[in-house]
Structure 1
């Protein structure tokens, strides 16, 4: 909260009273004093921009807006002010672009949509004008509190948005827009289970509310509940069978279920009706890549950036095949786009990671690290990751999950031996171990399953904190959780006695796994710390793994991980098989036999020729594990060693 006599409130009060010249002067004085906090500085600049526009000084308003956007490129209301100023100057195209940027960042800005609805017809874009008019009508019809809470959510004030929305729902129970908004806020807060309940309830009450259906589909995909997402999409398609949005959602769910042929066919069907859909080409490329059709995947990614040249994800998707070599022309185009003020931040992030890979392939390591660092810095600026979170989680697990707890629950849990969990850090060789095991006739490969994390999310919502509550849980609950896990994962299996659950982050929850499935096998994929951490730093993940975008954070995470794994070794001796990636490279046959023996599986020679196994692989290593073992990746980090002092210091301090 701003103090009543703060510079921000003084400027705001002057604007409210129509004293725009005084507001501008007060803002200048406040800025020249150099005593403002960063947020105050931003607020003052924004108000100064408003004052200049209201004082009929659009050029100065634009200059202030540009200064502020250089500091905070995602400030939606600044784009809106710039749009108004450019509109006053008769610069219709520039004004439309500014208002459009405002709506991208905050879709609740009715003023921007209203301005676009009048600008687009004059610019010869009637379809965009019609969409803008629809948005004006939709937002104008919302209850005032919901519109205000939506605005707060998009401006990043999730706590206040949640409070306003809940107060509204107390007075208007089961209001569809209120339930939808509360679910969206929950998703942003990563309260997925609560959001799922809200959306599922809303779907039952309002089955024809399209926005709720779309949000529900997106959440189910995020949670890895692909069968549920597929069924929901199918139901919604009954009413609108040709909806591209629903068809794409259905295809994406099919990818999650491993039904790649059907997914590829559906994506291509959507593209037949409208080829100029770069994001659908991206999804098509991902499905083709997962199927192992790399030439077709590359063509799809190239088609995506041909339609939208500044689509950073298309370039990163090419780089993320790990085998694609950018041409000189592509690299030059990427450099130009990554430096352009017109390129969106998310696109720049993808481009910097792609350029890092491109320069690394050319052995230009200084340029490569510069781009990796820029991409990570931009990505980190979008996150609110606190490295203390994982450290506190580890401490909580070590405190609660003692040897006595496992002794107390010795006979609890479900006795099934079906799952083989592969845990560790991303980029530690887990996909290679998964591919080796999935080559065995008695093992089904699946994908990164979210079921354990979903159970953890539910347990965290209880009165007693997770994991402390596990000690006092009724043994029947543990067995039921184990059965529920087996039931929910059945859809990903193909009939083999055993199956793989490869979710690296599950290392935190090994205690829970052993309580609900005491006979499950757990493999810890371990890799040299410098190689593992730097490989994570070079990787732009689709979602999660927020600790990887800083050398310090990833080093602290690695230290927390090894600390917790040592704890599991102590309280669950022999329960976890540690497999060192470098040992697999040096002695493939010996390590394969060791892994199979641990899993009580007979040796099968096809596990040594794992690269010939055809299956769905959705991780960044998908192309690498379709090749025989090679050693070239073991020491790649050494090419960058002179830039990694920060990481070295963190790892050595543990």
Structure 2
């Protein structure tokens, strides 16, 4: 938000405090009118202005105009908690059911809104909803137990004001050292700011200081899983189980960590044990489905996802999980049901997003490109509005890699000399899972998964006086060696004993400079695909996390251009160290490309690499079922039926040619 915007909004707030409601409304309308006349208005300013306008309408008694303004605000910002809380106040006098639903939505998006919880408490008491009341009162007790600065910081964090929240939290910790709630909150803020190394240190310290604090242990375990440190996450889960051997959430956390390290049979047994105690656990059915899918038991996985829907009719993740098998086909009856769900007022935002992506896939499979794109576009639009992604910042970050690494930056005699890793990089949905499956079929190569360890090392270097990547060239030889050894040590748990192993994290293309500094003998394979196919395939995919560039056609096109520019730079400064493999050439000449890939990796030719679909191994990416089949070309040109809707993507991709 600009300084001018801040001043204007402060004046509006002062007017509101002085009950100058009509003046505030007029001031808001003036700002919105100027924005419509192409005067730039930041997203945060737009949010504040519409919110203040709605509050002013309500306070002057014009509730209908307040509701209309809030509905407009929610279209722009579908996860803005205060808009839903204000909507709840608007409905209090006229519609208790809508008021309760609005307050509930507010608490979902910002669990620190104490006033919304207090309103819900009244509703649950009046309706005799004992279970909901107990959970509500538990949250009220927790919030009221927090020191006021921490309650304020928690509220700021959930409202997206992360730097303000961090400042308040650090000030509190300065006078209340090692306060567990403050440490956990600061760690959560760090996670949202993607300062993962700091967050990990805070949570590890908190668990060490307070070993019986399960909330801290759970937060630590979740972060370790997010960072792909599944062996560590499993160790924390087992420790938690010692303190609470019968705790349901602890057992679920353990099973998730076991899936992460590839111990699928044990994880599946845990999930099935929990479901034998109580089948009405839809999220567990979906988690079981994911584990079964990773093991290759697709029919059982589908059955698990379908069972989740039986117990939770509007559980979006279950519908998307069915679509995300890439082989499941929705019936016309189920598609009709899903359409009604996404339009139902009671459907939660996250469920609506998941079902929209599932409907996109469902209507695409039935050759209805118009309806398919409408739901893909809706799902992407809603998802993007929940994120704070700026493609311009990402473009600058990729340009910084080019500035930080020159030909002279690299000395192959420095760093860890182990030749073990084979990195497959590129954009998501570019065919990297197929290349991984081909290589993992070789007797000398272990397939692993999308490992987060390089991203973690890069993150650990990001918060020094000279920021990453500009500080890499100044790292001492022993530091480079230690970082390479650290990577090998952290990834050992995912290997099965072969001399070489694959790291298939696509985003590692950004960090090729770092990789070749700490592991100069690592092999790099760049998975390429036709830009339109690759980008549109990414647009159709709802990712579990990350890949925030994929929820806008313009963003994904610009990201693809930035990726190509960076890869051209890596080829220039690291000649002969990177193999580009075009997906379409693999489909046209599998044997020729397999021999080319193996030769680049220094591996002898093996027939098993041609029969890659027969290799049984854990695969956790969306392409898992596709690479368990022989080569097929139906994925080529899938964007063409949607061509009339893809001008924005075409224009973005064409920018590099201008």
Offset from partner CA, 1:396-437 (integer Å, 9 cap, x none): 22222111111xx33111111111110111111100010011
Matched, 1:77 2:82: yes
386-395 vs 436-445, greater mean Cα deviation:
386-395
Superposed, which structure 2 residues align to 1:255-334 within 5 Å?
Answer: 255-334=259-338
C-alpha contact (below 8 Å) 2:28/2:53 kept by paired residues = no
Matches within 5 A, 1:316-465: 316-406=320-410, 409-465=411-467
Native 8 Å contact 2:412 2:521 kept in 1: no
Distance in 2 (CA, whole Å) between partners of 1:113 and 1:277 is 25
Aligned with 1:3: secondary structure?
Answer: helix
Q: Residues 147-296 of structure 1 correspond to what in structure 2 (within 5 A)? A: 147-296=151-300
Measure the CA separation in 2 of the matches of 1:309 and 1:626.
31
Match of 2:122 in 1: 118
Report matched runs for 1:6-17 at 5 Å. 8-15=12-19
- Partner Cα distance (1:154, 1:44) in 2: 19
Tell me the alpha carbon deviations over residues 484-511 of structure 1, each in whole angstroms, 9 at most, x when there is no partner: 1111100000111111100111111111
Equivalents in 2 of 1:64, 1:101: separation in Å?
17
Shift of 1:84: 4.2
> 2:493 is matched with which residue?
491
**In the superposition, relative to structure 1, how do residues 577 and 70 fare at CA in structure 2: closer, same or farther (>3 Å)?**
closer
In structure 2, the CA distance between the partners of 1:549 and 1:494, relative to structure 1 (3 Å rule), is same
Q: Larger deviation: 560-569 or 321-330?
A: 560-569
Q: Would the aligned equivalents of 1:7 and 1:30 in 2 still touch at CA under 8 Å? A: no
CA distance in 2, matches of 1:55, 1:553: 42
Aligned equivalents of 1:500 and 1:482: distance in 2? 15
Describe the SS at the equivalent of 2:482. Answer: helix
CA distance in 2, matches of 1:61, 1:534: 39
Q: CA deviation at 1:26?
A: 3.3
- Distance in 2 separating the partners of 1:284 and 1:643: 37
Give the conservation status (yes or no) of the 8 Å contact 2:230–2:260: yes
1:259/1:442 CA distance change after superposition, 3 Å? same
Distance of aligned partners of 1:84 and 1:210 in 2 relative to their CA distance in 1, 3 Å threshold? farther
Give 1:42 shift: 4.9
Contact 1:277 1:304 in 2 (8 A): yes
Whether the 8 Å contact between 1:8 and 1:40 is mirrored in structure 2 is: no
Contact 2:118 2:140 in 1 (8 A): yes
Q: Deviations over 1:261-296 (max 9, x none)?
A: 111111122222222222111111111111111111
Which range moved further: 50-59 or 98-107?
A: 50-59
Provide Cα deviations, 1:502-526, integer angstroms capped at 9, x if missing partner.
0111111111111111111111111
Aligned to 1:470: 472
Aligned counterparts of 1:28 and 1:419: Cα–Cα separation in 2: 61
Q: Following the alignment from structure 1 to structure 2, what is the Cα–Cα distance between the partners of residues 582 and 40?
A: 46
Q: TM-score, normalised by structure 2?
A: 0.93
2:109 alignment partner in structure 1 = 105
Tell me what 2:38 maps to: none
Aligned residue in 2 for 1:18: none
Q: Distance in 2 between matches of 1:470 and 1:45?
A: 45
Structure 1 368/462 Cα, relative in aligned 2: closer, same or farther at 3 Å?
same
Structure-2 change in CA distance of 1:630 and 1:162 (3 Å): same
Partners of 1:373 and 1:48 lie apart in 2 by 29
Please tell me whether the aligned partners of residues 11 and 44 of structure 1 are also in contact (alpha carbons under 8 angstroms): no
Q: Which moved more, 1:194-203 or 1:212-221?
A: 212-221
Q: What's 2:136 paired with?
A: 132
In 2, are the aligned partners of 1:103 and 1:112 still within 8 Å (CA)?
yes
* Greater alpha carbon shift after TM alignment, 148-157 vs 460-469: 460-469
Residue 29 of structure 1 is matched in structure 2 by: 26
| CA distance in structure 2 between the partners assigned to 1:5 and 1:632 by the alignment | 54
In the TM superposition, 1:535-554 aligns within 5 A as 535-554=537-556
User: Structure 1 unaligned runs (5+)?
Assistant: 16-21
The range that moved more, 438-447 or 118-127, is 118-127
Paired residue secondary structure (1:29): helix
User: Does the 8 Å contact 2:25/2:57 carry over to 1?
Assistant: no
Number of aligned residues: 644
Distance 1:44 1:380, change over 3 A: closer
Cα distance in 1 for partners of 2:196, 2:499 equals: 31
Worse overlay, 256-265 or 125-134: 125-134
TM-fit CA distance, 1:145: 0.4
Q: Verify the 8 A CA contact 2:594 2:609 in the aligned structure 1.
A: yes
Structure 2 gap segments, 5+ residues each: 36-40
Q: Distance in 1 between matches of 2:343 and 2:435?
A: 40
8 Å contact from structure 2 (residues 79, 386) kept in 1: no
Q: Equivalent residue of 1:542, what SS? A: coil
Partner of 1:592: 594
For the residues of structure 1 that align with 2:653 and 2:517, how far apart are their CA atoms? 32
- The answer to whether the 8 Å contact 1:430/1:525 transfers is yes
Change beyond 3 A, Cα 1:48–1:573? closer
Say whether the 8 Å CA contact 1:27–1:44 is kept in structure 2: no
| d(CA) in 2 for partners of 1:217, 1:368 | 38
**Residue matched to 2:637:** 635
Deviations 1:29-60 (A, max 9, x none): 34554547676665465456556766788777
Q: Cα–Cα, structure 1 residues 69 and 87, in superposed 2: closer, same or farther, change >3 Å?
A: same
Q: What secondary structure is seen at the aligned counterpart in 1 of 2:503?
A: strand
The CA RMSD over aligned residues, in Å, is 2.2
Distance 1:190 1:638, change over 3 A: same
